[in-house]
Chains A and B, each alone.
Chain A
Amino acid sequence: MPILRLLLALLCITIFAAALSSAGMAKDTGLVFVSNEKTNNLIVIDPKANKVVKDLKTSRRPRDMHFSSDHTKLYVACGDDDVIDIIDVAKLEVVGKLSTGSSPETFGIDETRRRIYVSNEEGSSLSVIDMDQNIIVQEVPTGAEPEGVFVSEDGHFVYVTSEVGDLIHLIDAESGNVMQDVVVGTRPRRFAATPDHKELWVSAELSGEVYIIDREKFTVESKIEFLPPGMRKTDVTPVDLRITRDGKTAYVTLGHAAHVAVVDVPTRKIQGYILVGKRSWGLGMSRDEKTLYVANGFGDDITVIDLRTRKATVSIPVGRIPWGVVIDD
């Protein structure tokens, strides 16, 4: 009798597990995706073994990547083919394409309104794409070389940086009008929002700073300057940044300075620098916030950082000029 019960229990577990996996499909594979600008591929890495499990061909010059909210699809902006590739995360293959403006670089998704907002580096505009109809419904003119895109949590506003204009545009998502601009440091690149929705952090690559914008007033509230020991100010070129869910810690890649800065968000104090590879740009953080992945553009590899010890543990070769990292977890 006990054996029968055990068997029954095992059967139940198996059925349950099967149900879970089929419902979730590709959920929580934990796989790490790295886009490579020059080799036109995504390298997919199994984070447990730190091994490459798939070399996924994409359209030319893949850069920014975002998952759909259910993580069944991965969207990849491909700058040289003016498309966003849609990847089936379970099958690990390209299953569709969305047309964009000229040279799409980064984008934000609003799944409620079924919109993608993508910055067109060469076209000096933000394209608003209807995801279902695959058409550009609007082009919003921006300053030259728009880059970072951030869609507000309620979907009402889109924030875009202009690298050449040293500006952040605040765009009304409904009308597509630029409502306000704020001037920041030289060559603003990417955004990270604090979880309380009050602040927007913006990296300024050439002035080597992060600007903190008060979202309610849309003004610069303060800024943070970086200088890892032994580095020159001119090497400090911050690009990507992430803020933890508790709103306490921010991580910022410093480009040519080959370090990631760790910032205490409430006090703006720099807690330390973690050595990574050459021209560190894109960042990916695991959901448990224990691991950070850094794309090293001039090292053709990624650095894996253990966030508990704040040390790099391993670097993994990927393709040529890795741009960004996302994790399916």
Chain B
Amino acid sequence: MGTLRFAHPTFCTLLGLLGLVASALAQTAPPPAPPRQHISIGYVEIEGDPRYEPVRAYERLILKTRDHPFAGAQIGIDEAAALVRVLNTEFALERITVKSSAEVASAVVQALEGRDIHFFLIDAPAEAFKPLAASTKGRDTLLFNVSASDDGLRREVCAREFVHVIPSLAMRMDALMQYLTSRKWRDILVFEGPLPADAETVKAFTRSAQKFGAKIVANQRFKAGTDPREREQNNPALLSAIRGNYDVVFVADEAFDFVRQVPYHTVLPRPVVGSIDLEPVAWHWTWEHNGAPQVNSRFDKKSGGRRMDSADWAAWIAVKMVVQATLRTRSADFAKQRDFILGDTGFDGDKGLPVSVRPWDHQVRQAVLLAAPYMVVASAPVEGFLHRINELDTLGDDEPETSCHLNK
């Protein structure tokens, strides 16, 4: 019965007309595909940043080449390419190069206000961060610190717009100390260099020694050179000829100069750690667990053969956090993305335990690798160092110890 109705001429005409109208509509106005979103991530760096100058023995002998961690950020962007289909969102980096630390804050504000960029990787030394905190306070931005490990940024500066991706000095020293005490190398001879950074390092190391029950048996100030009148300060054998025993020699030498002579020159045959031989780092090119070989290999290709280091890792995971925030919230809304990044979620940093942001000082909690030149000797938290909530918080400033309470 019902089928007869369809045979009715008027109805058929009507239907035909409707069809025509529909097809005409379809031709003129195809169902609009949702416009593709673009999320730009700013990458702010300083031209001629001395931290990236090669470390030389003398003019033509380069000991270490160093570079801005831009390639780390780039592999993060490359990895997001597969998500374009799912998210209908493209990610891009905007590289912003300024002339000095003093220009970092204004460059960020300009990009935030003028070009609607909310996420920035800040590749600058500590001095750039205080003015940056002042000029971005309360604004819709997250600034990922990828290369400044100074503890002061996490303590006194303490700004909620920052996410400190690179491990703090305190975290690195705690990691090293965990390893030393796990080996029962608790009596430590310290060699301290002349730079302010060396003093900061020894300060953090001393604090770690107190925390984990090690003892600094002597702190010797060294001065690089060959002057025989200063041999008490420039000769590793004399410096290490102290009354009493020690298990290990810790050297703080930011300049990477004197420290080269320390291994094999101490009076007692003892391992050397700190600025050489066993270094606590965020990343190492020989790390071979948790999918690290694939990341190292992608980085190698992207950077034209450079070995991925700690700042590269930080830049990579920072980009990954933004991408994950977009993926998991299915949103390009900054507030939602920020809440996701600062929330409880763990990110896959290819270092075992998931990395996440500490709510009190916005430091990224993460494993720290103890790297020898050709091998990662151990990963901290070292087995046996326990924490009531998250073992990663055995490294660096835990909530009860910190002076920065962004969550309160």
To the question of whether A and B form a pair in one complex, the answer is yes
Residues of A at the B interface (CB closer than 8 Å) are: 121-122, 124, 141-145, 162-167, 178, 181, 183, 186-187, 206-207, 232, 234, 256
Q: Is the CB of B294 within 8 A of A121?
A: yes
Known interface pairs A163-B291, A206-B354; A143-B348 also in contact (CB < 8 Å): no
Q: Is B60 an interface residue (CB 8 A)?
A: no
Q: Is the CB of B85 within 8 A of A178?
A: yes
Interface string of B78-91 (1 = CB under 8 A from A): 11001101100000
User: Which residues of the partner chain A approach B327 to less than 8 Å between Cβ atoms?
Assistant: 166, 183
* Bound form: Cα–Cα A164–B291 in Å: 9
Q: Is the CB of B294 within 8 A of A165?
A: no
Q: Is the CB of A183 within 8 A of B291?
A: no
Provide a sorted-by-A list of 23 A–B residue pairs whose CB atoms are within 8 angstroms. Answer: A122-B297, A124-B82, A143-B82, A144-B79, A144-B82, A144-B298, A145-B294, A162-B82, A163-B291, A164-B79, A165-B83, A166-B327, A167-B86, A181-B82, A181-B85, A181-B86, A183-B86, A183-B327, A186-B348, A206-B354, A207-B346, A232-B391, A234-B354
Shortest beta-carbon contacts, A-B, top 9:
A143-B82, A165-B82, A144-B79, A206-B348, A181-B86, A234-B353, A164-B79, A186-B348, A145-B294
* Bound form: Cα–Cα A178–B81 in Å: 14
Residues of B at the A interface (CB closer than 8 Å) are: 78-79, 82-83, 85-86, 291, 294, 297-298, 324, 327, 346-348, 352-354, 391
* Bound form: Cα–Cα A183–B327 in Å: 8
Q: Is the CB of A186 within 8 A of B78?
A: no
Question: Chain A interface secondary structure, helix, strand, loop or mixed?
Answer: loop
Q: Is the CB of A187 within 8 A of B85?
A: no
Query: Separation in Å of the B253 CB from the closest CB of chain A?
Result: 35
Query: Separation in Å of the B357 CB from the closest CB of chain A?
Result: 16
Indicate which residue in A141, A165, A181, A234 contacts B79 across the interface (CB closer than 8 Å): A165
Query: Separation in Å of the B185 CB from the closest CB of chain A?
Result: 25
Most A CB within 10 A of own CB, among B85, B86, B353, B391: B86
* Bound form: Cα–Cα A6–B291 in Å: 64
Query: Separation in Å of the A40 CB from the closest CB of chain B?
Result: 16
* Bound form: Cα–Cα A196–B245 in Å: 70
User: Which residues of the partner chain B approach A165 to less than 8 Å between Cβ atoms?
Assistant: 79, 82-83
* Bound form: Cα–Cα A40–B236 in Å: 45
* Bound form: Cα–Cα A166–B86 in Å: 11
User: Which residues of the partner chain B approach A232 to less than 8 Å between Cβ atoms?
Assistant: 391
Query: Separation in Å of the A183 CB from the closest CB of chain B?
Result: 6
Indicate which residue in B85, B298, B346, B391 contacts A186 across the interface (CB closer than 8 Å): B346
Q: Is the CB of B82 within 8 A of A145?
A: no
User: Which residues of the partner chain B approach A166 to less than 8 Å between Cβ atoms?
Assistant: 324, 327
Q: Is the CB of B82 within 8 A of A167?
A: yes
* Bound form: Cα–Cα A162–B348 in Å: 13
Query: Separation in Å of the A296 CB from the closest CB of chain B?
Result: 15
Query: Separation in Å of the A163 CB from the closest CB of chain B?
Result: 7
User: Which residues of the partner chain A approach B352 to less than 8 Å between Cβ atoms?
Assistant: 234, 256
Query: Separation in Å of the B334 CB from the closest CB of chain A?
Result: 21
Q: Is the CB of B294 within 8 A of A122?
A: yes
Query: Separation in Å of the A285 CB from the closest CB of chain B?
Result: 26
User: Which residues of the partner chain B approach A142 to less than 8 Å between Cβ atoms?
Assistant: 82
* Bound form: Cα–Cα A145–B293 in Å: 11
Query: Separation in Å of the A13 CB from the closest CB of chain B?
Result: 55
* Bound form: Cα–Cα A157–B369 in Å: 42
User: Which residues of the partner chain A approach B298 to less than 8 Å between Cβ atoms?
Assistant: 122, 144
Q: Is the CB of A187 within 8 A of B348?
A: yes
* Bound form: Cα–Cα A166–B345 in Å: 14
Query: Separation in Å of the A102 CB from the closest CB of chain B?
Result: 9
* Bound form: Cα–Cα A234–B346 in Å: 10
User: Which residues of the partner chain A approach B324 to less than 8 Å between Cβ atoms?
Assistant: 166
Query: Separation in Å of the A8 CB from the closest CB of chain B?
Result: 64
Please name the residue on chain B nearest to A79 by beta carbon.
B293
Beyond A165-B83, A167-B83, A187-B291, list 15 extra A-B contacts (CB 8 Å). Answer: A121-B294, A122-B294, A141-B82, A144-B82, A164-B291, A166-B324, A167-B86, A181-B82, A181-B85, A181-B86, A186-B346, A186-B347, A186-B354, A187-B348, A256-B352
Please name the residue on chain B nearest to A121 by beta carbon.
B294
Most A CB within 10 A of own CB, among B82, B85, B346: B82
User: Which residues of the partner chain A approach B348 to less than 8 Å between Cβ atoms?
Assistant: 164, 186-187, 206
Please name the residue on chain B nearest to A165 by beta carbon.
B82
User: Which residues of the partner chain B approach A186 to less than 8 Å between Cβ atoms?
Assistant: 346-348, 354
* Bound form: Cα–Cα A162–B353 in Å: 20
Q: Is the CB of B83 within 8 A of A143?
A: yes
User: Which residues of the partner chain A approach B391 to less than 8 Å between Cβ atoms?
Assistant: 232
* Bound form: Cα–Cα A11–B353 in Å: 65
Query: Separation in Å of the B83 CB from the closest CB of chain A?
Result: 6
* Bound form: Cα–Cα A211–B62 in Å: 51
Known interface pairs A183-B327, A186-B346, A186-B348; A145-B291 also in contact (CB < 8 Å): yes
Query: Separation in Å of the A60 CB from the closest CB of chain B?
Result: 14
Query: Separation in Å of the B31 CB from the closest CB of chain A?
Result: 19
* Bound form: Cα–Cα A156–B86 in Å: 22
* Bound form: Cα–Cα A232–B391 in Å: 10
Known interface pairs A166-B327, A183-B327, A187-B348; A144-B297 also in contact (CB < 8 Å): no
Query: Separation in Å of the A129 CB from the closest CB of chain B?
Result: 21
User: Which residues of the partner chain B approach A207 to less than 8 Å between Cβ atoms?
Assistant: 346
User: Which residues of the partner chain B approach A187 to less than 8 Å between Cβ atoms?
Assistant: 291, 348
Please name the residue on chain B nearest to A187 by beta carbon.
B348
* Bound form: Cα–Cα A165–B86 in Å: 10
* Bound form: Cα–Cα A182–B137 in Å: 38
User: Which residues of the partner chain B approach A124 to less than 8 Å between Cβ atoms?
Assistant: 82
Query: Separation in Å of the B393 CB from the closest CB of chain A?
Result: 12
User: Which residues of the partner chain B approach A181 to less than 8 Å between Cβ atoms?
Assistant: 82, 85-86
